[in-house]
Structure 1
Amino acid sequence: MVKFSKELEAQLIPEWKEAFVNYRQLKKYIKNIKLKRLLNQSQPPQQTFGRSIFDSLRFVINKLYNSHNDNNMQDFIQVKKTITEESEEVYETELAQLFVEEDEVQVFFAKLDGELNKVNQFYKKQEIEFVERGEILNKQLNILLDLKQLLSNTRRKNHSLRPSNTEIFPHSPGQRSESVGKRKNLSDSEVSEMDEVISTLERNGLSFVNSAMRVKTKKGKPQTAIRIDIPATTPTAVTSMLWEDLVNSPMKAAGCGGEVFNKRKIQCAEKMIRSAFVELYKGLDLLKTYSSLNMVAFTKILKKFDKVSCQKASTNYLKEVKRSHFISSDKVVRLMDEVECTFTKHFTNNDRKRAMKFLRPQQQPKASHMVTFLVGLSTGCSVSLCCVYVILAHLCGIFSPNTEQAYMDAVYPVSSVFVLLSLHLFMYGCNLYMWKSTRINHNFIFEFSPSTALRHRDAFLMCTTLMTTVFGAMVMHLLLRAAGFSPSQVDAIPGILFLFFVGLLICPFDIFYRPTRFCFIRVIRNIACSPFYKVLLVDFFMADQLTSQIPLLRHLETTGCHTFARVFKSHHPETCHSGRLYVEITYLISFLPYWWRALQCARRWFDDNDINHLANMGKYVSAMVAAGARVTYGRQDNNLWFAIVFITSGVATVYQLYWDFVKDWGFFNPNSKNPLLRDDLILKNKSIYYMSIALNVVLRVAWVETITHLNVGPVQRRLLDFFLASLEVIRRGHWNFYRLENEHLNNVGHFRAVKAVPLPFRDIDSDN
């Protein structure tokens, strides 16, 4: 049977962990009470005369107490509730004479009171926030429904609208609609209907623009309609402009039924409000779980106290716990019911089953044994094929100094791409496993759907399958060469393999983790289009991964160059390794990941107005300078460029190490109780953190080897470059765990357990 403490650890909300009952600490107090009683019972009567008398009296009292019914239990424990000036409930326990002389019991109930007060205050605070959020969402929904009504009325009257700044509406809604009605010769009922719609919209917070729109109907008669402006609360000025021109959409073609409202933006507003309702429901469900788990914790710990003290003094305390706010309040349950009804009615056309799929999405299914079996099978196959390839390569003389350069140019780049990618997937799988083991809520941080998010076994399966395919293709390539096939035909195998995986990546069919593949493509698009997209955590996290995969990007460019040269006959393959264009592309690829990351920092500074983002951008600028200097030094090997490379790379490395430890990992806090670390640590063994600091420093300075220019052969040189690139991938995977650990602890510090969804409409009386 699983102990409740472990069950509680497994079920509690990680971001609210500090707000839960500290069950383990309360158990320690219970243990202290038990040890103290055992110690008293083991003492000889002659040494503790007063104590033995007290024990005898206690024994008599216990007997008398046990003979009474439960109505007299409250005589032993009195729980008083007081209301503070801030309208907060504060509980304090007074012990009867039975327990007065036992300090351990007093300490236990003092701690228990503190835990009860903590739970109540946190619950009440979260409840108030969710109720306020629900009221805001209801207002947003009312605005959306009124807009739809106005759009429906516009369609019904078959208006085609065109902006005009020549006419000004009067101040009040009634005057506006009356003025419009006179111009349009509308009936009194139509004017009244329009006035009602306008008034409803203004009550919901819409402000009107002082202009009119002059349009032409199909008969060619000019008419006038109302134009409104809908401000936004989205975090950026760019998205604010999206809603500012909601009713200023371009005219559609004549006769196509042009509308005052852009239908696509109305649908976008509906999607935002729907997502906000889903997050509200999720938060309410978490708060309901919080209440039930804490109630069980109080019940369990008080039962343990009864067992140790041989009393039933907890009965009265449990009555007060059940009367406390976090148990007695029904606001959360009622609000959940309201959200269910509202969501079912307005977003799923009264289809409750479909509504609950949104509100309670399917959790991630349990790991399949088939996935585990396939991981083991593909791992064994990849290792076996790797050994076969090494033996064949040795027999064919691939590792000898006289090896054919054409073979290395055709095979090495594409194999390096897939091996480095597989290594990165393996490290990511290790990250997923560690994040799950330490209860770091990575799906919430990355805003991944729990039902489709990648698991560590899936990452390992992708890694091992990729490696099996690559090593199989490399073995086949060597066998065909040894069989006497034409090199031009055999060398097409790496290109075919490359095109196959590109096709699999963009495959629209629901096979081989389509949600993950499409998410990857979407994130890469956001990175490549920086700074035009708002930067999310998953975007800059992936961009950081790309800065560690510059060798992979270089090999990817070489692979693409060879593929086009052999398939489309556009150029000679030798131009992929020499010439001015090759040098320019090398500079571009060395700069591009850092450039994207710097643009993301600039965009985040523009959105958040935080100077730290500009400082972070400086880190990537220094990395670009160092990367450019190293590329130039590879072409101009002299003392001047050696000094430039050493200085620029040294400055960039110090900058990066500072940012890794202080900003990304949160270490080197001078006021921390853990020297050189931070106060909160997820891993219990602190020595792991110190070893990680040392390892990160060593792997950060691995660039020193690239400027030493060791006298080795071309094959050994490429193997050494591949080894250094692999070390950088390992360093990045190592960095990922502590980066997300720090992000998780920041969420815990602010109790962020649900996503804050921006809303499309702004209240005209609000400053936010």
Structure 2
Amino acid sequence: MTSKKDFKQQMVPEWEKEYMDYEGLKKILKEMKSSKQTTHNRSLQHRLRLERAFRGLPLQGSNHQREGDIEDQVIEVKTLEQEGSKQLYKTDFHKLHEEGGEAEARFFQKLDEELNKVNAFYKDQVEAVNHEFNLLSKQLEALVALRVKVKSPDTELKQILSSPEETAGQNHQPKDSMIGTEVDPVQQTNRNIHHEEQAEAHNNYNRRDPLEILEHVKVDNSLQSPMSTFKKAFTDSSDNELSFSKEELRKIEEQLRLVFVEFYQKLLHLKDYSFMNLSEFSKIMKTYEKRTSRAASTAYMKVVDNSYLGSSDEVNFLLEKVESTFIRNFTHSNHKKGRKLLRQKTKTEKHSITFFTGFFSGCFVALLVATILRITSQQFIKKKKGTFYMENIFPLYRAGTELDYREIFLLTSGHAVVVLLCFLINLQIEMNSRSQQYKTVTELVPLILVLLVLLIIFCPLNIIYRSSRFFFIRCLFRCICAPFLTVRFADFFLADQLTSQFQAFKSVELYICYYGLGEESRRQKKCHSRGIYNVQYFIVGIIPYWFRLAQCMRQFYEEGDMNRAFNSLNYLSTITAMVFRTAFELKKGSSWKVLALVTSAIAVLQNTYWDIVKDWGLLQRRSKNPCLRDKLILPRRSVYLIAMVVDIALRISWMQLVFEMDWSPLHKVAIITVTSCLEIVRRGIWNFFRLENEYLNNVGNYRAFKSVPHPFSYYDDKEDKDD
């Protein structure tokens, strides 16, 4: 038996409400009162059982129990038919008149509700995976036909014609339920007939001419390749037809392989769902017998085992079918390799990551303290030399997919250590009069640091989490092409992170001016004296907000959801505020300041409302948690209230730059850096509650698996093709 902790860990989180409520049933059992009378009844019942045993009478709950003997029956489970061929179970408790009988009747009522709930959910999910398997079969048929066309038709065609006999032999041998329980012969016969029908359909399906199949197929790859969207927009629809190239075949095989792996994982979760619930029903009935000394477990578990949850063998059949199909078509009948790809192992933790994370964190703290002490010593900032340094050099140091939080923290802490170390070396040389001869070399340190980071990001070698780096590059490219591509969660989530990095975007312009125009040799802040620089200064600052604006417009175009349009207005107001703030920063003047304040205030109000109400899903009306939402993950509601207050405060701090308050002895550049860091903190808080809300929305819709698009689209006739 699995423990409570193991049961929780093995649950599919998005299906949490659809599992059997073991704790609720156990709570009812605890409410059953034990008194002297119940103890006396149990002793009397025990004596009666012994007397029956000595007299040769059948024991209560044994296989020899007469069905008509109502006095010996504890429960009677009735099966009720419902619409859609779904069965409902209702238990009549025959010991209601005894002490504690009402609580026991309530227990069986709750037990029936849980069985009906689990049974209905499992049946719906099995029907869904059966439908999905039929779609996958058609996708695989098109893939095999494409292989015939692209590679060697004679060899492949023989394999296609020989596969039905092989698969038919497998399909005629369905296994019994994984629990090994007794199954109704009629139900077993129906399942065998169903398997035979599926096998016959599959055989007829494979006998079709591959070339005939390809006449009704086109490639649907707009979600996989951004360039395909541009190609589709500027060419006619015929360009979306199969090109019969090996490169296209390779991409389709890779995509369909991912579809099969995700589908197999879904089937494994369904199998675990059935097994876990059957185990919990058995466990709760044994607990009931132990507390009440009533023999009702056998009778009820017989009903559970014969229900759809306990008797259906569809998932096992599909698992065998998917595994054999995958191994034959994607691993060249290599069973070991195929099972390894399908049965993904849990990622093992590496202690080296934890060690280096702690090491870099300690170095970062030490370097940060040393940097602050070095800057504040000898009143460096108050000197003219220090002012030039802070305005020119200091800003140059601003800074899937399988990475977990420890690895992300390792990368960020390591990057922070390198940045601070370079900055501290540069500062030491600047303040030391004896090292002025190396000043020209040290001017290039920030540029070398940036080039090093870019080199690592685009490095094609399989080092430093290559898959995650390339995933980031793809998402970034999709952000740039936002108006032309379907927006995925990863795309707009990355774009939201970039909106909190607007100061880093402005630093890009500073690098271009400082190194490209030779400003490093003069140590003067002359970039803003150049007209073209100021124009680009406006544009670069609004780029991340444009990404999100374009994504919202694309989503509104595809979905027609007015919330997308309203969200786009938020980013439009932010872009307006950024333009006026930049104008005030460059031109000064009271009129520009008023415009910057007004537009910034409007942007803050709109974005704060959207953060809390839309992105976090809080401040919901008629919620059982006042000012929050019905479903909360964190146990303390005060955390959500504090987060809302902090979000408002940090949003307002964004306006501090407009007021240009004098926070002596801090330099203006240092204030900008602190404000940017606070924005990163706010974005981190936003990320947590935004992901929580997204997760709860997935739970509400039972979306527990990654949706991988199919590579092929089918049409029936010429008219559908033209459409």
Q: Which residue of 2 aligns with 1:335?
A: 318
Q: Which moved more, 1:542-551 or 1:101-110?
A: 101-110
Measured in 2, the distance between the counterparts of 1:522 and 1:720 equals 34
- The Cα offsets for residues 551-599 of structure 1, whole Å up to 9 and x where unpaired, read as 1221233235434456999x99744344212211221122111111111
> Residue 80 of structure 1 aligns to a residue in which SS?
strand
* Amino acid across the alignment from 1:716: H
1:374 matched to which residue of 2? 356
Distance in 2 (alpha carbons) for counterparts of 1:133 and 1:598 = 35
Unaligned runs of 5+ residues in structure 1 are 42-51, 157-195, 208-228, 250-259, 418-447
User: Matches of residues 263-278 of structure 1 in structure 2 within 5 Å?
Assistant: 263-278=246-261
Aligned counterpart in structure 2 of residue 75 of structure 1, from 73, 81, 89: 73
Counterpart of 1:362 (choices 335, 340, 345) is: 345
Which of 706-715 and 540-549 deviates more?
A: 706-715
Hey, what's the Cα distance between the residues in 1 that align with 2:238 and 2:330?
25
Identify which of 284, 288, 305 aligns with 2:267.
284
> Which letter does structure 1 place at the counterpart of 2:390?
M
Whether 1:245 aligns to 2:238 is yes
Displacement of 1:623 after TM fit? 0.8
Is 1:595 aligned to residue 593 of structure 2?
no
Check whether the contact 1:561–1:573 (CA below 8 A) recurs between aligned residues: no
Listed one character per residue, the Cα deviations across residues 53-81 of structure 1 (whole Å, up to 9, x for unaligned) are x7645541243247636516782222222
Counterpart position of 2:464:
512
Post-superposition offset of 1:645: 2.0
Distance 1:230 1:370 in 2: 48
SS at the partner of 1:597? helix
Work out whether 1:638 is the aligned partner of 2:638. no
Q: How do 1:485-634 and structure 2 match up within 5 A?
A: 485-486=436-437, 487-565=439-517, 574-634=525-585
1:233/1:762 contact within 8 Å kept = no
Structure 1's 244 and 148: CA in aligned 2 closer, same or farther, altered over 3 A?
farther
| Aligned residues of 2:28 and 2:103 also touching (Cα < 8 A) | yes
- Work out the CA distance in 2 between the residues paired with 1:232 and 1:661: 37
Partner Cα distance (1:95, 1:747) in 2: 38
The whole-number CA distance in structure 1 between the counterparts of 2:509 and 2:447 is 12
For residue 78 of structure 1, give the secondary structure of its aligned residue in structure 2: strand
SS of aligned partner of 1:677: coil
Alignment of 1:283-322 (within 5 A): 283-322=266-305
The residue aligned with 2:184 is: none
Inter-partner Cα distance in structure 1 for 2:24 and 2:626? 25
Which residue identity lines up with residue 386 of structure 2 in the other structure? E
Write the distance in 2 (CA, Å) between the matches of 1:3 and 1:277: 30
Q: Which amino acid aligns with 2:478?
A: N
Contact 1:414 1:555 in 2 (8 A): yes
For the Cα contact (< 8 Å) 2:149–2:211, is it kept in 1? no
Distance 1:402 1:715, change over 3 A: farther
Match of 1:398 in 2: 380
Residue in 2 that maps onto 1:111: 110
Cα deviations by residue, 1:216-246 (Å, 9 ceiling, x for unpaired): xxxxxxxxxxxxx637597899499599536
Deviation larger for 235-244 or 312-321: 235-244
Alignment partners' CA distance in 1, 2:153 and 2:575 = 55
In the alignment, what sits opposite 1:668? Answer: 619
Which has the larger displacement, 133-142 or 272-281? 272-281
1:459 aligns with 2:457: no
- 2:176 corresponds to which residue? none
- Bigger drift between 620-629 and 581-590 goes to 581-590
Return the alpha-carbon distance in structure 1 between the equivalents of residues 215 and 561 of structure 2: 31
> What is the CA–CA distance in structure 2 between the aligned matches of 1:764 and 1:554, rounded to whole Å?
50
Q: Could you tell me which amino acid in structure 2 is paired with residue 621 of structure 1?
A: L
2:715 aligned with 1:764: yes
Deviation readout 1:92-129 (Å, 9 max, x if unpaired): 22222277552111111111111111111111000000
What is the match of residue 365 of structure 2? 383
Output the CA distance in 2 between the equivalents of 1:572 and 1:475: 19
Q: CA 1:737/1:711 → structure 2, altered by over 3 Å: closer, same or farther?
A: closer
Query: What SS class does the counterpart of residue 680 from structure 1 fall into?
Result: coil
Q: 1:247 to 1:305 in 2, by over 3 A?
A: closer
- What TM-score comes out, normalization by structure 2 length? 0.82
The number of equivalent residue pairs is: 647
Alignment deviations for residues 340-394 of structure 1 (CA, whole Å, 9 cap, x no partner): 111111122112222223322332222x222222222222222122222222223
Residue 167 of structure 1 corresponds to none
Three-state SS of the structure 2 residue aligned to 1:91 is: strand
1:682 pairs with one of 619, 633, 640 = 633
Structure-2 change in CA distance of 1:683 and 1:492 (3 Å): same
Question: What does the per-residue CA deviation read over 1:711-758, in whole Å, with 9 as the maximum and x for residues that have no partner?
Answer: 456952111111111111111110011111111111111111122332
Cα-to-partner distance string for 1:234-263 (whole Å, 9 max, x where unaligned): 7899499599536868xxxxxxxxxx6344
AA paired with 1:467? A
**Deviation for aligned residue 1:152:** 4.9
SS at match of 2:667: helix
- Give the Å deviation of 1:28: 1.2
Question: How far off is 1:87 after superposition?
Answer: 0.9
Please, which runs of 5 or more residues in structure 2 have no aligned partner?
A: 54-58, 66-71, 156-204
What secondary structure sits across from 1:97 in the alignment? coil
Residue deviations 1:633-672 (CA, integer Å, cap 9, x gap): 2233333323322222222222212221222111222132
Pick closer, same or farther for the CA change 1:646–1:386 going to 2, 3 Å: closer
Point out the more displaced range, 103-112 or 559-568. Answer: 559-568
The equivalent residue for 2:200 is: none
Task: Say which is worse superposed, 587-596 or 646-655, in terms of deviation.
Answer: 646-655
CA distance in 1, matches of 2:298, 2:113: 18
Query: Are the structure 2 counterparts of residues 63 and 399 from structure 1 closer, same or farther at C-alpha, using a change threshold of 3 Å?
Result: farther
- The match for 2:670 is 719
Moved more, 543-552 or 634-643: 634-643
Question: What SS does structure 2 have at the residue aligned with 1:71?
Answer: coil
TM-score, normalization by structure 1: 0.78
For residue 417 of structure 2, what is the aligned residue in structure 1?
Answer: 468
- Report the Cα distance in structure 1 between the residues aligned to 2:90 and 2:494, rounded to whole angstroms: 51
- Give the Cα–Cα distance (whole angstroms) in 1 for the partners of residues 534 and 686 of structure 2: 31
Is the alpha carbon distance of 1:233 and 1:80 closer, same or farther for their aligned partners in structure 2, counting shifts above 3 Å?
farther
SS in 2 for 1:79: strand
Indicate the residue corresponding to 1:253 in structure 2. Answer: none
Distance (whole Å) between structure 1 residues aligned to residue 417 and residue 623 of structure 2:
47
Distance 1:155 1:728, change over 3 A: farther
SS in 2 for 1:413: helix
The CA distance in 1 between the partners of 2:207 and 2:47, in whole Å, is 77
CA RMSD in angstroms comes to 3.2
Q: Distance in 2 between matches of 1:107 and 1:765?
A: 55
Tell me the distance in 1 between the aligned counterparts of 2:292 and 2:42.
Answer: 11
Q: Distance in 1 between matches of 2:128 and 2:256?
A: 17
